[in-house]
């Protein structure tokens, strides 16, 4: 059997493209606190990071009350979204160093996508007026799946949309031809369950904590396409 070749790169967003994990945590904590719930930084990074906000809020409410409460969850999420919107109106998330260069270069060779547990509003706002706003044609957000990471659904939906984007004589891209870049454990589990190769990006967790990824890098700075290809093939570099 021929060795799979790299044809698509899928980026997580928060903690990979945009440096906005801290404001997400702070506004989520405030929304939960206003509703009588608490979320520690340790629990956020140890348990919930990588989940979409809907599943995180659902798990938190269930852990306290023992039941699902859709109205309460919706209230918390709407409040968190409003707080985050107000915050980013004056503190727009910055793109991580190296993001623009690697996205621009990769767009010439591969199909690119974003698969995130963030809302579409948040993703589009963070990308607006950036140099890479038009380089990533497929964006899958929290609204596009009923269950978030670590379930593989978000990556399966993303691949399906990549293949629908440019139907043509080439065969559809398979999961084994995709490389995912993730910063969270839930995201790594999600991508691996979808049958994709995963690079762990040590922007949020330490490299040791991301050891379940196929490979781990400290940042996207100075990352060349040739090195990406080698990481995809599992070669040490």
Please give the helix or strand (H or E) that residue 114 lies within, else none: strand 111-115
**Per-residue pLDDT, 11:** 98
Residue 119: name the closest of 25, 184, 185, 54 by CA.
Answer: 54
Spacing of C-alpha 12 from chain mean position: 2
Q: For 41-61, how does the pLDDT look when each residue is reduced to its tens digit (9 = 90+)?
A: 888 887 776 677 787 788 888
pLDDT number for residue 1:
44
Domains and CATH numbers, the chain: 8-19+94-232 (3.40.50.1000), 21-90 (1.10.150)
Total-model pTM:
0.88
């Amino acid at each position: 059997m021929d060795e799979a070749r790299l044809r698509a790169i899928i980026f997580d967003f928060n903690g990979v493209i945009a440096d906005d994990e801290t404001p997400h945590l702070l506004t989520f904590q405030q929304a939960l606190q206003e509703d009588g719930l608490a979320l520690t930084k340790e629990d956020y990074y140890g348990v919930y990071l990588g989940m979409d906000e809907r599943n995180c809020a659902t798990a938190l409410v269930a852990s306290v009350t023992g039941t699902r409460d859709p109205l309460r969850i919706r209230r918390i999420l709407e409040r968190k979204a409003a707080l985050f919107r107000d915050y980013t109106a004056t503190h727009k998330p910055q793109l991580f160093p190296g993001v623009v260069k690697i996205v621009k270069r990769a767009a010439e060779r591969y199909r690119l996508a974003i698969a995130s547990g963030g809302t579409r509003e948040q993703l589009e706002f963070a990308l607006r007026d950036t140099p890479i706003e038009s380089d990533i044609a497929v964006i899958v957000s929290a609204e596009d799946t009923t269950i978030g990471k670590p379930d593989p659904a978000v990556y399966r939906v993303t691949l399906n949309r990549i293949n629908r984007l440019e139907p043509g004589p080439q065969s559809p891209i398979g999961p084994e031809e995709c490389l995912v870049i993730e910063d969270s454990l839930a995201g790594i589990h999600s991508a691996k369950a979808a049958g994709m190769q995963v690079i762990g990006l040590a922007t949020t967790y330490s490299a040791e904590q991301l050891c379940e990824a196929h490979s781990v890098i400290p940042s996207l700075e100075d990352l060349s396409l040739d090195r990406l290809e080698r990481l995809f093939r599992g070669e040490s570099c």
